[in-house]
């Protein structure tokens, strides 16, 4: 009896064979793959081009904001820098959403084809992943700008606190 049971469990499960496809179906599959590769390549190229414009502009703006944080006298330069970085992150998220809309607008003619091929969800997930990766890098690049300015901002904040002790008391760093 144990031999019979062990034979049942020792059998390798049979894997279902792939359904055979006709040459026409295989050609259609290859054509779909070719279209998909061309589409994603064009979208990636467009995203890369637009992203570099966005990245350059945003990093320039955040640097300008940190520079102006050191110059003003109403608020703590470090607190202003924190607020500016927080706003920067909001703008980065907004830019990501805007670029996604731009992609759909720029490549609108593919929407019908993607719907017909039933790959809309796949394209959407891929696009979200590509954009999330790019804009996460932009968020980190903004943080790097902030950390690169940390010593200058700290010195400006220390000077500001000495110059405006009443305001400093009202604006603790913690």
Tens-place pLDDT, residues 86-95: 999 999 999 9
Each residue's pLDDT tens digit, 139-156: 999 999 999 999 999 999
Instruction: Check if the beta carbon of residue 67 is closer than 8 Å to that of residue 59.
Output: no
User: Which string of DSSP letters, residue by residue, matches 100-154?
Assistant: HHHHHHHTTTHHHHHHHTT-HHHHHHHHHHHHHHHHHHHHHHHHHHHHHTHHHHH
Break the chain into its structural domains and give their ranges: 37-170
The values of phi and psi at residue 119, to 5°, are -120, 15
Q: Give residue 17's pLDDT band: very low, low, confident or very high (50, 70, 90).
A: low
pLDDT at position 48 over 60: yes
Spatial separation of the C-alpha atoms in residues 55 and 133, rounded to whole Å? 13
- Asked which of 91-95, 108-112, 126-130, 146-150 is least confident by mean pLDDT, the reply is 108-112
Mean pLDDT value of segment 81-101: 97
pLDDT given for residue 16 in this prediction: 57
- Judged against a pLDDT cut of 80, whether residue 37 lies above it is answered with yes
Check: CB of residue 88 under 8 Å from CB of residue 145: no
Distances in whole angstroms, Cα of residue 103 to Cα of each of 28, 129, 136, 138: 26, 14, 18, 18
Mean pLDDT of 64-91: 96
Structure tokens at 144: 């790097």
Q: Helices 23-71 and 77-106, interaxial angle, to 10°?
A: 150
pLDDT surpassing 60 at residue 163: yes
Confidence band of 15 (pLDDT split at 50, 70, 90): low
């Amino acid at each position: 009896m144990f031999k019979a049971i062990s034979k049942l469990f020792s059998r390798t499960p049979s894997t279902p064979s792939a359904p055979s496809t006709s040459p026409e179906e295989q050609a259609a599959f290859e054509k779909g793959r070719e279209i998909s590769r061309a589409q994603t390549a064009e979208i990636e190229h467009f995203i890369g081009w637009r992203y570099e414009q966005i990245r350059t502009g945003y990093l320039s703006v955040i640097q300008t904001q940190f520079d102006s944080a050191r110059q003003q006298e109403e608020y703590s330069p470090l607190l202003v820098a924190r607020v500016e970085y927080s706003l920067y992150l909001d703008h980065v998220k907004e830019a990501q959403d805007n670029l996604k809309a731009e992609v759909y607008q720029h490549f609108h003619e593919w929407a019908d084809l993607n719907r017909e091929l039933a790959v809309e969800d796949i394209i959407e997930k891929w696009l979200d992943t590509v954009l999330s990766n790019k804009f996460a890098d932009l968020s980190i690049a903004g943080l790097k700008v902030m950390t690169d300015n940390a010593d200058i901002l700290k010195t400006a904040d220390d000077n500001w606190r000495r110059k405006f002790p009443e305001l400093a008391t009202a604006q603790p760093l913690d």
